[in-house]
Structure 1
């Protein structure tokens, strides 16, 4: 994955999820997103061909950003699940109308 692809992925995630965190900064110069979770954990999240991981941390790599954050942050997991359920309910309501 080249730098422009990384920047695109990071920008997409930033735009989608920045409100889920106490702090979320996009650093395109160094290709990471700096996050402070609602639990107070400070993370620098990076993306590569292998997947999503924490910069300079354990070697665990996750297929998706969502999988990584659901593992780390209960508040992200709850909000993500609630938002997904709300979207599905809206789709079901539209089908019924």
Structure 2
């Protein structure tokens, strides 16, 4: 007897989770990047002033390098550990 694979509707919870916890915060952060806001009160529209200041910031290069270094280091350590844990958890087929 052939078993059928679950339909695409099974992916809805994963897509909803991704939408709520990844896409919505990203859109909100991009929107806030065009405002002046200290976390209290209402944000005030700033247009592209924040982005112009960012382009002129001398620490931008160092910040990007540090972010990339941490991303690569996390990937180098987490990926092998995750694969080993996944193979161990799957057990013998």
- Greater helix proportion: 2
* Greater RCO (Cα-Cα under 8 Å, separation 6 or more): 1
Higher CA-based Rg: 2
Shorter-chain TM-score above 0.5: no
Task: Give TM-score, length-normalised by structure 2.
Answer: 0.31
- Greater strand proportion: 1
Task: Give TM-score, length-normalised by structure 1.
Answer: 0.30
